Amino acid sequence: MHPVTTRQHLPLFDLAATRRIEAAAAAALPAHTLMQRAGAATARLARALAPHAQRIWIACGPGNNGGDGLEAAMHLHQNLHRHGVAVTVTWLGQPDRAPADAQRSWQRARDAGVSFSDAPPTRLDARDLCIDALLGIGLAPEDAPRPADARLRACLDALHASPATVLCVDLPSGLQTDTGQYAATLAPAALPIAPRHTLSLLTLKPALFTGAGRDAAGTVWHDGLGATPGDEPPCAWLPGLPAAAARAHASHKGSYGDVAVVGGEGLAQRGMGMGGAALLAGSAALHAGAGRVLVALLDGGAQPTDTAQPELMLRRFDTLDLPRLTVVCGCGGGMAVAPLLPRVLAEAPRLVLDADALNAIAADSGLQQQLAHRAAQARPTVLTPHPLEAARLLGCTTAEVQARRLQAAQQLAGRFGCVAVLKGSGSVIAAPGRTPAINPTGNARLATAGTGDVLAGLLGARLAAGGDAFEAACAACWQHGHAADTWPAPRALTASRLARALSAG
């Protein structure tokens, strides 16, 4: 058993693959072995997480996830009863209807003297521990619309409202394994208030790392229970720490690529100056190690020097030698960027499309065809939409994108023949013919204006340095999120500070 860290390169497996891995492992072992291992692992982690708890409440569902909880209850009671720790189980199953392994664990818990209660406890405090063994991965997609059983709902509400630390067995109950979204009838009314941990059994699942799953899961732990994936291919990867980029002594600014940022609609267009977005992207590219950074602000006027960042070379768009540049297009571009896109799409050898460039493409079938044509010309393109921009490109709703984040990113990548970075909690990176990645870094500090522009500029710098566009996108997302994860807590994170904190590594 070990905690999952953002530095590890790890495979993720969907529900169907996890079921196959489980079946293969169970077939090679005596009956009940996997559940015994799962219960023992849960009990070990529970004791480590709450060594001073005087009360442990275990909410057990009617299936095998509940069986894991019952098995853990037996171990915890046997080890802690003599120390005055009260272990109580609320079991939603029935002995004559439970799966065979869960029946055996129920009997073992009963024989050990575990206390059972029909309802959640009324009094727990921050020193205590709750264990969520209600549903795990047992919630199939077709079950989502069904109303929750009253006792199940009561247990879920108690888990979400409790001040005690919560340990989820395999998956937070109500979370759908493949999407990272709650089933509609099982979603919590508010974010959990207590520290949360999830012990993922056998495999790591996508739900733990994207969408609502990151808040629901908290710190993720993994125990393979002695099983291996065999030949099962992962449905996604956690990319892990990017390789450090070595820089030769005998190099110069031309060795690391030229990035041109095209964006920043001026006040004259709609009375909404957005030049800051383009300058932020330029600053990010500069601090991430691009050899030279040119910024074409779309304000129609003179392009003065940015005295705060004199290294940025301000240019008019019509002077850019696009075929020699890596272009980052759209940051703060507003309506002014749309007329420039035909030339950008036709000439830029490497291209990052963000923000208003994506909105313009979503509204123009001709630009969409031009974008898709770039793949045939072997010109790498990276799209960086947030969920609303992705929905516009796919012709669906934001809710539909969020309900299937992995598939939405893959659909974008396939439709336009590019790398797609679907931003959000657990950004998804997809490319045609590649297993997608879910970025494990980042936090709510990034929920401030301009951080998306910083990501676009950082990605432009990594793309300009050469190499594979998919790997560049994975590395940029990881680095961008890691900068927020390691941000000194008392200091406010702003986009300009974030850009300056980047490195060429």
pLDDT of residue 215: 94
Q: How far is CA 32 from CA 39, 139, 144, in A?
A: 11, 21, 28
Determine the distance from the C-alpha atom of residue 393 to the mean position of all C-alpha atoms in its chain, rounded to a whole number.
21
What residue spans of 97-249 are helical by DSSP H? 100-112, 150-161, 213-217
Contacts of 356 (CB under 8 A, 6+ apart): 263, 265, 330, 331, 332, 333, 334, 335, 337, 338
Using pLDDT thresholds of 50, 70 and 90, give the confidence band for residue 143: low
Whether 174 contacts 147, CB under 8 Å: no
Instruction: Work out the burial of residue 502: count CB atoms within 10 Å of its CB; fewer than 13 is exposed, 13-18 middle, 19 or more buried.
Output: buried
Is the pTM higher than 0.75? The answer reads yes
* 192: pLDDT strictly greater than 90: no
- What is the set of domains in the chain, with CATH numbers? 2-238 (3.40.50.10260), 253-501 (3.40.1190.20)
Residue 224, SS3 per DSSP? coil
pLDDT (mean) for 119-128: 91
pLDDT of residue 138: 86
Provide, rounded to the nearest whole percent, the portion of the chain with pLDDT above 90.
85
Whether 223 contacts 246, CB under 8 Å: no
**Dihedral sign of CA atoms 464, 465, 471, 474 in order:** negative
pLDDT (mean) for 380-399: 98
Give the β-pairing of 236-238 and 196-201: unpaired
163-179 burial code (b ≥16 CB/10 A, e <16): ebbbbbbbbbbbbbbbb
* 255: pLDDT strictly greater than 80: no
Q: Which two tokens stand for residue 394?
A: 């796919």
Expressed in angstroms, the distance from the first to the final Cα of the chain is 31
Q: What is the pLDDT of residues 5-39, one digit of tens each?
A: 999 999 999 999 999 999 999 999 999 999 999 99
* 483: pLDDT strictly greater than 60: yes
pLDDT of residue 268: 57
pLDDT of residue 343: 98
pLDDT of residue 409: 98
Q: How far is CA 367 from CA 200, 375, 393, in A?
A: 44, 14, 11
Q: Rounded CA gap, 289 and 285, in Å? A: 7
Contacts of 177 (CB under 8 A, 6+ apart): 14, 15, 18, 137, 139, 171, 205, 206, 207
Q: In what order do the strands lie in the sheet with 313-314?
A: 10-12, 236-238, 437-438, 428-430, 419-422, 381-383, 350-353, 326-329, 258-265, 292-298, 313-314
* 79: pLDDT strictly greater than 60: yes
Query: Which H or E run contains 168?
Result: strand 165-169
Determine the distance from the C-alpha atom of residue 437 to the mean position of all C-alpha atoms in its chain, rounded to a whole number.
9
pLDDT of residue 145: 47
pLDDT (mean) for 209-219: 96
**Phi and psi dihedrals of 290, rounded to 5?**
-60, 145
Q: What is the pLDDT of residues 401-424, one digit of tens each?
A: 999 999 999 999 999 999 999 999
* 305: pLDDT strictly greater than 70: no
Query: Which H or E run contains 166?
Result: strand 165-169
- Rounded to the nearest 10°, the torsion over CA 90, 93, 96, 100 is -100
- Say which residue, 252 or 151, is predicted with more confidence: 151
* 473: pLDDT strictly greater than 90: yes
Contacts of 16 (CB under 8 A, 6+ apart): none
Provide, rounded to the nearest whole percent, the portion of the chain with pLDDT above 70.
93
Query: Which H or E run contains 47?
Result: helix 33-49
Query: CA-based Rg of the chain, rounded to a whole angstrom?
Result: 26
pLDDT of residue 243: 80
**Dihedral sign of CA atoms 337, 340, 345, 350 in order:** negative
